[in-house]
Amino acid sequence: MSRLRRDIYRKKLDNLLQIAEDEAFFTMIWAIRAAQTGRPESARPFLNFPPQAVTTEISSKFAAHPWKCETLLNEVLTIPKLQRIQVGPNRTLNCNSYNALARALNTLTKLESAEDGITLKRVSVLNELHRLSQRQFEWQRGFLSFAKFYRSAFIYGGTRTRAFFEDDKGFALSDFSLACFGLKTLFHDKPTVRRGGGMDGVGISETTLNRVYDLISIPHGQARQRATQIRAGSAHTGYKRSLFREYPCVAFGSKGERLHAPLPDLLMLRATTGVFYDVVKANGDVKNEISGRFETYCIELLQHMLPSRTIRPSFKYTVRKNAIDSPDIMLSDASAISVVFECKARRMSYEARFSEDPVAEARQAYSEVAKGVFQIWRFVSHHRRSLLGGEQLAADVQGVVLTLDTWLSAATTIQTEVFNLANKMADEDPEFAEADRIPVIFCPVEELEYTLGTATENSFLAAIAAAAEPRFQGWALSNVHEQIAAGVKQDNEYPFERRLAEVWPWWRLLE
């Protein structure tokens, strides 16, 4: 029955999108997002919508969830258009009407529901929760924050990384971020920006701006080809690749003169974490620099937010004449190490984020996360065997694998598989004891930032301890904190907000 329902709603969605004019459809999506992010007056010239559609409530029946809007934008590019007839009327989707949008969204929802039913016959609900969280949570948290801006600029702001970017692209990374920020501002109140001119007033020449356009935009015809290519196959519609993560703008017109960014927030995603697309092919020195700066960022964040604790970076020690690196960060309470952190800056592949069996399809990547667990256990084991001096470990020492991406969010069964990989690594050393395999949690750096922003020092450490309990496996650290410290709701300032101009020099223009 689910397959029949899927085919019915697949056909219904195709029938709607084949009569949609792509540029008008893009404008419709831009308008509903404007209406539902505090800009209804900017949206009204482009879309007729009822007053109830001006809402920020995710549970509202009028809400146009941005992750579904992103899916629709990709889908409209993949569906062949109904051939126009020369004589007589042609059916066209009225993209000025909220009703047309509602029909498309409702049909997509029913299609995805039918696909869920098929998927859940072969995939556990818990694995599906992982994919669901990967698709929705980033939109719910948003892409615009001081933490996101500073963190990405710092991590990708090393000398080698900036030099590689400029050599490869022909313009500076700081110019790229400024241009994207400027375009995001332009798209705030209008769905279309005309290509041409420059941002000379803020130091971006026309030549540089055109190179930025070439990097973040794709001509409409090529967009249709590319979207069709990356979304081919019978996978779940909601979890197929999105063209807009690499190209947040699509150029329309015979000369590509009209730029559309129907989801303008993705411009800032492209200029922050999306820099990954531009440096992924760099050599090992660049990648090592990025990893090192991620570790430095986490150390400095912890030092600022936990001033009464001692935060120590990695150090080398020798075991049987072999030089070994300690875990990346050690947090000491009084005279003992109470939390051991290992940082993993590797970005998630599409397979790691949205595959039905991510560990199998991205085993090398998940093995790197599992290695982080093993490295923490190895350090504990060497301490137990008195193979290194220095501070003692607390009896209840905890481990944390800090990740740059949301590797194991809402991923109970995937976490179990990662621990299985880590246990295999530990089993290769016959001197490993069960006591060495201390509790370890997985925490994306965004969760670390968010939790530190609301917690006291004591409640933060209590949340780390509680997060390792079986009842909280798969929970986000911030949710664990809310559960075990319900009365604690600090408003701790993000410590690097005033340092944005150090990593984005153009930020001074806004101060």
CA angle 314, 316, 320 (to 5 degrees): 145
pLDDT for res 111? 97
In degrees rounded to 5, what are phi and psi of residue 140? Answer: -70, -35
pLDDT for res 122? 86
Calculate the alpha carbon distances from 500 to 61, 89, 145, 453, 504 in Å: 39, 56, 11, 18, 6
30-39, 79-88, 117-126, 147-156: lowest mean pLDDT where? Answer: 79-88
Q: What is the mean pLDDT of the segment spanning 239-260?
A: 96
CA distance 321 to 68: 56
**Tens-digit pLDDT profile for residues 306-346:** 999 999 999 999 988 889 999 999 999 877 999 999 999 98
pLDDT confidence band for 7 (50 / 70 / 90): very high
**Tens-digit pLDDT profile for residues 97-112:** 999 999 999 999 999 9
| HSE (side-chain half, CA atoms, 13 Å) at 40 | 10
Q: Can you give the pTM of this predicted structure?
A: 0.93
pLDDT for res 1? 62
Q: What is the mean pLDDT of the segment spanning 377-389?
A: 91
118-127, 265-274, 302-311, 392-401: lowest mean pLDDT where? Answer: 118-127
Per the CB < 8 A criterion, the answer to whether 485 and 459 are in contact is yes
Which is more confidently placed, 377 or 206?
377
pLDDT confidence band for 436 (50 / 70 / 90): very high
In degrees rounded to 5, what are phi and psi of residue 259? Answer: -95, 130
